[in-house]
């Protein structure tokens, strides 16, 4: 024992040969490997570790595990700070820094402790009642004040510098918990040959065996646990995950687990801090043990009042006496075990108080025994000093070990909405075997089997049976043996004769009175009472308090506990950091980024990029001296329209369609006719959903009789491919059609402008005739470029200019853009980005995503006047609905401001001059706007009722969001080259 | 003028090759890849054509067949779809086999659509367990098996060539994100091995 570890009375299971230093609230302490922060603080005599949530009452360590409601600390500092960490679960390491939280001023002298004096005004649901007047104060005064006071720890506010991984594991049998039952189950299933994963939240396997002075197979329990762990680790078919909490049971046999990989290290040295595992298990065996609960009596929250089983844990596992004079208060046999173990190690146990009458147990030497007696009050502001009994006696103690019985940890059995059932004989809820998550079994204390001997047997039997169910029949050995014990308990929830407040939920400062008050105010359902009182909320989720609370509610309402029922649990079992759930998917890695073949070239040439779905596309290419994006975009548009521009359009979806029935298939998925499309030609296609709404548009080329190449918009590439596969596989499985996504196969560049033909002519190999006669508008064909590289050339235009799209295998994409720009120097070629592309398509009146937004039909887009297609296609029937065929329906048209200096905004709605801005007067909306450098003023595309009949009419574009109201003229959507002379040049 | 500027092919990751810890991740820079799809009821003809063209027996779905050299492999994905991968010297045969098969089935060149990486080393399965949801110890991904899955949000074809060697194929445009994701996991596993 080193330093000031005044309460260390034995070696326990820690390594006392090494000493670790750590800091709590700025004070230096020492501990040993194997300690938790809580055990080390207790060893150093630290009793006060935190302040309660609402009343800021002094609080000390209450338990020894995940159920801890009090000892929540802020661990580490700076950006690594993690508030609300349970000191009972923090593995001690050299250099650990922790601080108490939820106080103003020091921990000892917390100014917010004044709340305790105001407690008569701060009872259950006070915030629903107390701050009603004046109403105006709620948002400005009361709510900010309450929010500032609420919560426990504070986040650093800095980006989390730690690294988190996620991963996937598969097994036949997942054993959750490595106590006596869990180890037995894993051994049985593992020996039988099943692939087993055993996970335990502790850094050492053994569960309660580490806390008890019991023998298993004639050796001390912790030694047997070590042997079992060694055997499991030696089995190739078993994976042992310590420091791993299975926090959720999800659908189809999947479980969520978090492994704390480097939380116990001062420096992670590149290791991830935590890993969230998704475990796919054919079967699961829940061996999560049980949690001890308290008894509510007057001032039962003082530092030094602890759960009896935890006092025993600190003694046997960590060699820590939680007090010099420890009293025991119990309603069951297990409390007596704590008294015996303390006494055996020389700790004074002046009194054992059992609420049961006529209990005959061997009392420790020197202990006075009271049966049928209760504790009614305690004293000691910052640490327990004395207890007062119902018989009037006051006894000086510095620690009180309380045992109100044990509650099986049924949490994961509830994650599929299973509701546990009440068992009178053990006064606890146990899993309903008929309502477990599929594939799950429960063994040991989690199933209500409260003795060690039975726990070992049930774990083994469940492991054998589970393995057998899966066909694994190798010998599993015999179950481990332990002596039988008594485990009688008598339900006793709270001491009714107390005058002081009796605490039920230590984390949320919920008292017996709060629960009774909730009932008086009509909260009869346990679910309602929970939310009204906050019982069982926050980080511990009521592990020590839920049963106590609902038992008091049952008593108050005059019903049984079984009739009252219980709340059930949702994932996670214990808190999981958001960072761990995110894993690597954060910042720039939130999702993958798709890069175009010309990305590196674009980056070299000053491109500003924009996210377009997953793609990163060049938005514009700023030249030196250009200070505003509009300068760059205007230049790109102007130079393209006067000479030639190049744009990477590889992001457009490209779907290769082959098969004897390919033509039939394409004709059925498009609303317009493709049956007549000739080989070597391209046609614009409009694809509808079943409901008649436009899904996407694009061009499709016929490469040969049974071979088409469809293009889609960038955004809809995935959905369209999925839609086509649905059509192919489900609607028309008789058609011989095969689809292959070739989006990434080709680097494709649009070459647009009056000099496009000349530029392309200098790229394709000699002998390829690009004349209008041989290769007219909407032609396509195979060519070779730059000395024999295979390519495809399409004479199509989105910009409205004479244009081509040239596609080469993607490996040549970078080289091709460099070649185009080099060859194009003679024509002042300009690269243009998506912004210029958008301006030019608006000038030309081409619809894009803004117009095909899931609301519009072919008629809206102006395709209604075309000759109707006679053959069936997706959307045929529902596009003929009356509502989609109205003569006064909206139409896509163009708009220009009357005052040419005004900018237009997409999203503005059209309201007639003089009309009020009401829904009734809404005639449509502006879908796309741009400044047209070609025309020298803003232009827009939009949908307005009877648009095709209203050219020349003046209306208003009203944008209430941006507070603009602009008079606009309805015009043709084709602002540039309305007759198509340029693109057919 | 076109012939004056020859186009130089560029692998998606520029021939990326890195070792971290006990694992090595390398881009396969020289390969050809064909997508094969066949008409209804055409499997007998395909089997015959495969035997004639390259001596490969059409493998069951989810498995990989190979020619005698082992460098022409057929990755059977579904009942009517497979990838044919050519490596090393066998790349030269891709064009002739393409032409031969195209007479019977639908063949699409895909070597530019997919980036191929090879991951190998003692801790390969530990690396993949951090990104691949498939059961790496199960029969569905035993040696000689192939599956389509996703790593994070990226669609991937994964084939197991040896107990600790995997072939990974993803869309070319995703290649850098894919490389980054794998390197991250390799770094984690390497750090944990310390």
ipTM: 0.97
Contacts of B156 in chain A (CB under 8 A): none
Taking a contact as any Cβ pair under 8 Å apart, which residues of chain A between 80 and 139 contact chain B?
A: none
How far is the C-alpha of A944 from the C-alpha of A947, rounded, in Å? 5
User: Is A170–B137 a contact, with Cβ atoms under 8 angstroms apart?
Assistant: yes
Mean pLDDT of B70-82: 96
What is the structure's pLDDT at A196?
A: 98
What is the structure's pLDDT at A866?
A: 61
Distance of residue A254 Cα from the nearest chain B Cα, in angstroms: 11
Quickly state the pLDDT bin for B4 (edges 50, 70, 90). Answer: low
Average pLDDT score over chain B = 94
Distance of residue A928 Cα from the nearest chain B Cα, in angstroms: 29
Average pLDDT score over chain A = 95
Query: Residue B3: pLDDT above 50?
Result: no
Mean pLDDT of B10-23: 97
Residue A967: count of CB within 10 angstroms of its CB: 13
Residues whose CB is less than 8 angstroms from the CB of residue A296 and which lie 6 or more positions away in sequence, other chains included: A493, A494, A495, A502, A503, A504, A511, A512, A548, A552
Q: CB-based contact (8 Å) between A589 and chain B?
A: yes
Query: Residue A92: pLDDT above 60?
Result: yes
| Residue keyed to tokens 């210029």 | A836
pLDDT digits (tens, 9 = 90+) for A914-957: 999 999 999 999 999 999 999 999 999 999 999 999 999 999 99
Run of H or E residues at A721: helix A717-726
Query: Residue B128: pLDDT above 70?
Result: yes
Quickly state the pLDDT bin for B77 (edges 50, 70, 90). Answer: very high
Run of H or E residues at A401: strand A399-403
- Please name the residue of chain B whose CA is at the shortest distance from the CA of residue A163: B188
Mean pLDDT of A724-731: 97
Q: Which residues pair with B150 in a beta bridge?
A: B155
Integer CA distances (angstroms), A234 to A230, A239, A240, B169, in order: 6, 9, 10, 35
Residue A836 backbone zone (phi > 0: left; psi -120 to 50: alpha; other: beta): alpha
Task: Fill in the DSSP letter of residue A105.
Answer: B
CB distance A363 to A344 below 8 Å:
no
CA Rg value for chain A: 37
Contacts of B176 in chain A (CB under 8 A): 593, 595
pLDDT cut 90: percent of chain A above it:
91
Q: What angle do CA A887, A891, A893 make, to 5 degrees?
A: 145
How far is the C-alpha of B63 from the C-alpha of B77, rounded, in Å? 8
How far is the C-alpha of A531 from the C-alpha of A182, rounded, in Å? 34
User: Is A592–B178 a contact, with Cβ atoms under 8 angstroms apart?
Assistant: yes
- Between residues A411 and A119, the one the model is more confident about: A411
| Residue keyed to tokens 């496009």 | A756
What is the structure's pLDDT at B2?
A: 45
What is the structure's pLDDT at A886?
A: 86
Q: Which residues of B59-86 are buried (b: 16+ CB within 10 A; e: fewer)?
A: beebebbbbeeebbbbbbbeebbbbbbb
How many helices and strands (H and E) does chain B possess?
Answer: 4, 11
Contacts of A822 in chain B (CB under 8 A): 5
Quickly state the pLDDT bin for A258 (edges 50, 70, 90). Answer: very high
What is the structure's pLDDT at A650?
A: 98
CB distance B138 to B125 below 8 Å:
no
What is the structure's pLDDT at A1?
A: 42
3-state SS of chain A: helix, strand, coil percent to 5?
25, 30, 45
Q: Which residues of B8-28 are buried (b: 16+ CB within 10 A; e: fewer)?
A: ebbbbbeebeeebbbbbbbbb
What is the structure's pLDDT at B41?
A: 87
Q: Which of B35, B138, B176 sits opposite A170 (nearest CB)?
A: B138
What is the structure's pLDDT at A870?
A: 80
3-state secondary structure of A197: strand
Q: Which of B3, B133, B152 sits opposite A585 (nearest CB)?
A: B152
Contacts of A585 in chain B (CB under 8 A): 152
What is the structure's pLDDT at A133?
A: 80
Mean pLDDT check: name the lowest of A253-257, A527-531, A571-575: A527-531
Distance of residue B147 Cα from the nearest chain A Cα, in angstroms: 16
Structure tokens at B187: 């770094």
How far is the C-alpha of B43 from the C-alpha of B58, rounded, in Å? 9
Mean pLDDT of A624-644: 97
- Between residues A787 and A127, the one the model is more confident about: A787
Report the Cα A886 to chain-centroid distance in Å.
46
Mean pLDDT of A490-507: 96
Q: Which of A745, A787, A822, A825 to mutate: most B Cβ within 10 Å?
A: A745
Residues whose CB is less than 8 angstroms from the CB of residue A624 and which lie 6 or more positions away in sequence, other chains included: none
User: Is A165–B188 a contact, with Cβ atoms under 8 angstroms apart?
Assistant: yes
How far is the C-alpha of A798 from the C-alpha of A110, rounded, in Å? 70
CB distance A469 to A503 below 8 Å:
no
Query: Residue A275: pLDDT above 50?
Result: yes
pLDDT digits (tens, 9 = 90+) for A130-160: 787 888 888 888 888 888 877 789 999 999 9
CB distance A304 to A383 below 8 Å:
yes
What is the structure's pLDDT at B5?
A: 82
Residue A766's Cβ-count burial label (10 Å; 0-12, 13-18, 19+) is: exposed
Backbone dihedral angles phi then psi of residue A746, each to the nearest 5 degrees: -120, 140
Quickly state the pLDDT bin for B1 (edges 50, 70, 90). Answer: very low
pLDDT digits (tens, 9 = 90+) for A654-668: 999 999 999 999 999
Nearest residue to B177 via CA among A459, A589, A432, A363: A589
Residue A863's Cβ-count burial label (10 Å; 0-12, 13-18, 19+) is: middle
User: Is A811–B10 a contact, with Cβ atoms under 8 angstroms apart?
Assistant: yes
Q: What angle do CA A461, A464, A467 make, to 5 degrees?
A: 145
CB distance A377 to A394 below 8 Å:
no
Backbone dihedral angles phi then psi of residue A236, each to the nearest 5 degrees: -65, -25
What is the structure's pLDDT at A2?
A: 45
pLDDT digits (tens, 9 = 90+) for A831-849: 999 999 999 999 999 999 9
Residue A77: count of CB within 10 angstroms of its CB: 12
Cis amide leading into A572 (omega within 30): yes
Nearest residue to A431 via CA among A566, A577, A283: A566
């Amino acid at each position: 024992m080193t330093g000031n570890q005044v309460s260390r009375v034995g070696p326990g299971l820690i390594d006392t040969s090494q000493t670790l230093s750590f800091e709590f609230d700025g004070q230096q302490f020492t501990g040993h490997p194997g300690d938790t922060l809580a055990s080390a603080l207790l060893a150093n005599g630290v009793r006060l570790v935190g302040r309660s949530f609402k009343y800021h009452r002094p609080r000390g360590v209450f338990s020894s595990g995940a159920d801890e409601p009090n000892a929540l600390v802020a661990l580490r500092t700076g950006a690594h700070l993690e508030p609300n960490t349970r000191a009972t679960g923090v593995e001690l390491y050299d250099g650990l820094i922790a601080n108490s939280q939820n106080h103003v001023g020091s921990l000892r002298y917390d100014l917010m402790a004044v709340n305790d004096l105001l407690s008569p005004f701060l009872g259950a649901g006070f915030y629903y009642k107390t701050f009603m007047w004046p109403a105006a104060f709620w948002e400005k005064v009361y709510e900010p004040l309450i929010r500032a006071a609420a919560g426990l720890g504070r986040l650093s506010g800095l980006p989390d510098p730690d690294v988190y991984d996620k991963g996937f594991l598969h097994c036949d049998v997942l054993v959750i918990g490595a106590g006596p039952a869990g180890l037995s189950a894993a051994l049985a299933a593992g020996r039988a040959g099943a692939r087993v994963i055993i996970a335990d939240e502790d850094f050492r396997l053994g569960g309660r065996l580490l806390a008890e002075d019991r023998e298993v197979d004639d050796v001390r329990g912790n030694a047997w646990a070590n042997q079992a762990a060694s055997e499991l680790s030696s089995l190739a078919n078993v994976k042992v995950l310590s420091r791993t909490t299975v926090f959720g049971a999800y659908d189809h046999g999947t479980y969520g687990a978090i492994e704390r990989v480097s939380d116990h290290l001062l420096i992670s040295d590149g290791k991830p801090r935590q890993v969230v595992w998704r475990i796919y298990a054919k079967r699961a065996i829940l061996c999560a043990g049980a949690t001890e609960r308290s008894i509510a009596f007057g001032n039962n929250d003082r530092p030094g009042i602890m759960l009896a089983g935890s006092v025993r844990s600190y003694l046997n596992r960590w060699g820590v006496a939680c007090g010099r004079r420890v009293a025991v208060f119990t309603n069951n046999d297990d409390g007596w075990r704590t008294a015996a173990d303390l006494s055996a190690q020389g700790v004074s146990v002046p009194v054992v108080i059992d609420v049961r009458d006529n209990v005959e147990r061997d009392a420790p030497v020197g202990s006075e025994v009271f049966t049928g007696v209760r504790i009614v009050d305690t004293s000691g502001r910052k640490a327990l000093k004395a207890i007062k009994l119902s018989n009037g006696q006051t006894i000086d103690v510095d620690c009180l070990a309380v045992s109100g019985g044990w509650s099986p940890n049924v949490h994961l059995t509830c994650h599929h909405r299973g509701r546990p059932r009440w068992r009178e004989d053990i006064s606890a809820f146990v899993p309903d075997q008929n309502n477990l998550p599929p594939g799950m079994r429960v063994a040991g204390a989690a199933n209500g089997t409260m003795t060690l001997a039975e726990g070992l047997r049930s774990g083994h039997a469940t492991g054998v049976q589970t393995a057998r169910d899966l066909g694994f029949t190798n010998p599993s050995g015999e179950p481990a043996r332990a002596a039988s014990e008594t485990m009688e308990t008598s339900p006793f929830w709270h001491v009714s004769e107390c005058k002081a407040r009796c605490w039920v939920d230590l984390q949320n400062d919920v008292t017996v009175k709060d629960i009774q008050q909730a009932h008086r105010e009509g909260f009869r359902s346990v679910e309602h009472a929970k939310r009204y009182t906050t019982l069982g909320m926050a980080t511990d989720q009521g592990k020590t308090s839920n049963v106590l609370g609902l038992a008091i509610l049952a008593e108050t309402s005059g019903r049984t506990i079984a009739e009252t029922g219980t709340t059930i649990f949702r994932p996670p079992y214990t808190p999981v950091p958001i960072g761990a759930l995110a894993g690597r998917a954060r910042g720039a890695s939130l999702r993958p980024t798709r890069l175009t073949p010309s990305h590196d070239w674009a980056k070299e040439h000053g491109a500003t990029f924009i996210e377009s779905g997953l793609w990163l596309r060049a938005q514009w290419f700023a030249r030196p001296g250009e200070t505003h994006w509009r300068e760059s975009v205007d230049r790109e548009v102007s130079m393209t329209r006067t000479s030639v521009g190049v744009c990477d359009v590889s992001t457009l979806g490209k779907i290769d369609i082959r098969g004897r029935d390919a033509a039939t298939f394409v004709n059925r998925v498009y609303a317009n006719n493709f049956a007549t499309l000739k080989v070597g030609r391209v046609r614009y296609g409009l694809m509808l959903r079943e409901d008649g709404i436009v899904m996407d548009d694009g061009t499709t080329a016929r490469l040969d009789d049974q071979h088409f190449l469809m293009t889609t918009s960038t955004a809809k590439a995935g959905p369209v491919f999925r839609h086509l596969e649905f059509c192919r596989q489900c609607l028309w499985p008789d058609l011989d059609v095969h689809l292959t996504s070739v989006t990434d196969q080709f680097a494709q560049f649009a070459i647009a402008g009056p000099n496009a033909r000349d530029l392309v002519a200098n790229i394709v190999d000699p002998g390829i005739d690009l004349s209008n006669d041989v290769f007219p508008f909407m032609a396509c064909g195979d060519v070779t470029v730059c000395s024999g590289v295979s390519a495809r050339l399409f004479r199509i235009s989105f910009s409205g200019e004479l244009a081509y799209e040239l596609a080469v295998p993607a490996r040549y994409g970078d080289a091709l853009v460099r070649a185009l720009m080099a060859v194009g120097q003679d024509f002042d070629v300009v690269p243009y980005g998506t912004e210029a592309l958008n301006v030019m398509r608006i000038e030309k009146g081409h619809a894009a995503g803004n117009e095909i937004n899931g609301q519009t039909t072919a008629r809206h887009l102006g395709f209604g006047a075309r000759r109707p297609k006679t053959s069936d296609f997706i959307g045929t029937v529902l596009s003929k609905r009356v509502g989609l065929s109205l003569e006064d329906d909206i139409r896509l048209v163009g708009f220009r401001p009357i005052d040419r200096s005004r900018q237009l905004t997409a999203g503005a709605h059209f309201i007639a001059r003089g009309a009020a801005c009401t829904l009734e007067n809404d005639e449509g909306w502006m879908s796309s706007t741009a400044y047209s450098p070609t025309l020298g003023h803003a232009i827009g595309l939009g949908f307005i009722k009877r648009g095709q009949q209203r050219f020349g009419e003046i209306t208003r574009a009203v944008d209430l969001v941006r507070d603009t109201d602009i008079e606009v003229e309805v015009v043709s959507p084709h602002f540039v080259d309305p007759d198509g002379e340029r693109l057919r040049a | 003028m076109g012939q004056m500027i020859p186009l130089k092919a560029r692998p998606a990751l520029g021939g990326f090759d890195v070792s971290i810890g006990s694992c090595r991740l390398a881009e396969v820079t020289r390969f050809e890849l064909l997508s094969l799809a066949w008409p209804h009821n055409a499997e007998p003809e395909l089997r015959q054509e495969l035997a004639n063209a390259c001596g490969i027996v059409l493998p069951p779905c989810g498995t990989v067949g190979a020619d005698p050299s082992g460098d022409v492999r057929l990755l059977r994905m579904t009942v009517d779809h497979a990838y044919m991968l050519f490596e090393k010297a066998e790349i030269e045969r891709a064009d002739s086999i393409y032409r031969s098969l195209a007479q019977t089935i639908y063949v699409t060149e895909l070597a530019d659509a997919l980036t191929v990486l090879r991951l190998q080393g003692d801790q390969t399965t530990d690396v993949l367990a951090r990104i691949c949801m498939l059961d790496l110890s199960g029969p569905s991904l035993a040696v000689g098996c192939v599956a389509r899955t996703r790593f994070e949000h990226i669609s991937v074809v994964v084939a197991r060539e040896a107990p600790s060697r995997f072939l990974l194929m993803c869309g070319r445009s995703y290649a850098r994100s894919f490389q980054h994701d794998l390197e991250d996991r390799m770094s984690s596993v390497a750090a944990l091995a310390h």
